Amino acid sequence: MVTTENRQISSTAELVLARAVALFSTAGFEGTSMRQIASAVGIQPASLYNHYSSKEEILWAIVQRSLDNILTGQERALASEASTVERLRAFVRMHIRFHAEENASARVVNSNLSSLSKRHYALTVKKRAIYEHRFRELLRSGVTEGLFAITNPKITSYAILEMGMGVATWFSDEGELDVDDLLSLYEELALRMAGYKNAVQ
């Protein structure tokens, strides 16, 4: 049974994560204190520990949620299309959209992994490896089918993924491009990097 108290605890815990993302993405994990997070949430520092036992646990919750979301997005993107080229397009759209729309969370994940505990860091590396492996296999399928001209699928996968991750550092809703424009541009860039002969010239 979900009680009013449980809902309140849950909403406060969610607010802690939202405020921590904003602080971590600007000041960094090491530059943010538990007192600052509590102040941003509007609770006493001692009350913060009713929801998270440490600052590292807050970071881990942010990292875990972001990785689970992007892994789920990847699964859906790769299952949404039949052809290899369209699956690549769908994946790139998802990858870029995540880093554009969830840019603060993406910056936190990409810049603060070294602050995780050894156990949480190892789990994070495993999840990222799954994400990278799935994408690399997609590129290899394109090579096997004669669609992509790639000498080294591993390095190409890193290049395309890093290109998308960089979006989180500069994209703004107030810029000259909206998200849809961005997706179209990066879609074609990724196809060119994969050596797809029918990519837009």
Co-location of 68 and 43 in the same domain: no
Name which of 8-22, 60-74, 146-160 the model is least confident about: 8-22
Q: How many domains does the chain have?
A: 2
Which of helix, strand or coil describes residue 5? Answer: helix
Location of structure tokens 């995780």: 116
Average pLDDT on 104-118 reads 95
60 CB-contact burial (10 Å; exposed 0-12 / middle 13-18 / buried 19+): buried
Co-location of 40 and 63 in the same domain: no
CA distance linking residue 80 with residue 84, whole number of Å:
11
Does residue 38 surpass a pLDDT of 70?
A: yes
- Tell me the residue type at 1: M
Q: What is the CATH number of the domain that holds 45?
A: 1.10.10.60
Element of type H or E holding 94: helix 84-101
pLDDT band at 86 (very low <50, low <70, confident <90, very high): very high
Co-location of 16 and 113 in the same domain: no
Co-location of 42 and 138 in the same domain: no
**Torsion angles phi and psi, residue 200, rounded to 5:** -60, 130
* Residue 201 in domain: no
Q: DSSP secondary-structure letter at 148?
A: -
Model confidence pTM above 0.75: yes
Average pLDDT along the chain: 92
Number of helices (H), then strands (E), belonging to the chain: the values are: 10, 0
pLDDT for the residue numbered 199: 58
CA distance linking residue 86 with residue 21, whole number of Å:
33
